Every structure is written in C-alpha cells, then in structure tokens.
Amino acid sequence: MGTDGCCCRFNWKQVGDIALGRPHLGPMMHLAVYRLMQYTLREMICREYGHDKASDLLRTAGLRAGEEFCANMLNCSQDFNGFIAELQEKLRELGVGILRIEKADLEQMNFTLTVGEDLDCSGLPVTGAAVCEYDEGFIAGVLGRYTGKAFAAKEVDCWATGDRTCRFSVTLADQVGDNGN
C-alpha cells in the first residue's frame, strides 16, 4: 500500500507511557468514548470517500492495528494453541471481546471465530448491516503477523445484523472467493 513512507505511519510508541501520563486515571476509559470516536471518524471518511471506501479504510486500519498488536503484545514464537490462548486472554483483559474458535483448519488455514461482547458493535441498533470492518482487519492482521501469511476475514454475523455474537470467516487472502465471499 506504500504506507511505509507515510509521515503518519503508526508506531507503537504512540500508545505512549500510560502509567506516566495518567497516574490518576490509568489506562481505562468508557467504551462510549471509543465508539464516539470510531463512528464520527467513520462518518467523516464516508462523507469524503463514500461507504465502500470507508469500509476498506477501516479494514486496512484494523489490519495495521492487528499486526502491531501481535508484534508488541503477543508472543509469536509459541504454537498455535498457545498463541490463541494468549490472544483470548489479552482480548478479554483489554475489554476487546470474548474470542472463541469455532473451527480451525490449520492445513487449509481456514478459521471461524466468534467475538462476544465485541467493543465495536455489541448493543448497537440492529440495521441489518455488519459494522465490524475494523475487527475484520484486526483479526487478519493478528493471524497474518503470527503466520507470515496474508489473511482476509469476513464478518458473517454481527450484533448489528441481529446476532448476539460477531462471527468471522477467515481464509488466506488468495482464497477469498473460494468460499462464497
């Protein structure tokens, strides 16, 4: 994508020294504030570039986030089960969501994952359209960084489509289309 030369390229240092900077408030904030930021940012990107481009940009931002999250917060040198266990623990601890693996085919590299109580959508009005593009990218980024392969994740169920948990179908990026996406 040519983002390497971008002056705004994300650096983990931008997470900052939270203990130093927020001695009284600490690392937590209200989820409403996160959603306020996400959905106003989405509105502005959508107004400027249209709905499909906004979805794409949120997804690629999520991908970057997933890669960096994996590189900086997870141990990539452990086996798959250990890695997933650590990922589940971290996502719960950070309040991202409750990750479950419904299906894992390590030979084909196909996965079905669910995220309960997802930070992006749980409790939103049901509109019939899935809204977790950022999560799609995030999941693809985490698995991509861990395996060294390019993944694509597609949200097939979402709180916003009337489901109680988000469900993601994850395949290798070059297999997209093989399973009806």
Site residues, Zn ion (CB under 5 A):
121, 132, 158, 166
Q: Which of 75/181 has CB closer to Zn ion?
A: 181
Residue 121 backbone dihedrals phi, psi, to 5 degrees: -130, -20
Q: How far is the CB of 101 from Zn ion (least distance, A)?
A: 17
- Mapped onto helix, strand or coil, the DSSP state of residue 7 is coil
Q: How far is the CB of 77 from Zn ion (least distance, A)?
A: 31
Q: Which single residue brings its beta carbon nearest to Zn ion?
A: 158
Q: Which of 6/32 has CB closer to Zn ion?
A: 32
Q: How far is the CB of 161 from Zn ion (least distance, A)?
A: 8
**CA dist., res. 27 & res. 17, Å (int):** 10
Alpha-helical runs (H) found in 104-169:
133-147
Q: Which of 45/113 has CB closer to Zn ion?
A: 113
Q: How far is the CB of 15 from Zn ion (least distance, A)?
A: 24
**CA dist., res. 64 & res. 16, Å (int):** 17
Q: Which of 115/143 has CB closer to Zn ion?
A: 115
Q: Which of 57/166 has CB closer to Zn ion?
A: 166
Q: How far is the CB of 131 from Zn ion (least distance, A)?
A: 6
**CA dist., res. 87 & res. 96, Å (int):** 11
- Mapped onto helix, strand or coil, the DSSP state of residue 157 is strand
Q: DSSP characters for 85-106?
A: HHHHHHHHHTTS-EEEEEEEET
Q: Which of 96/158 has CB closer to Zn ion?
A: 158
Are the beta carbons of 80 and 106 closer than 8 angstroms? yes
For helices 133-147 and 51-73, what crossing angle results, to 10°?
40
Q: How far is the CB of 125 from Zn ion (least distance, A)?
A: 13
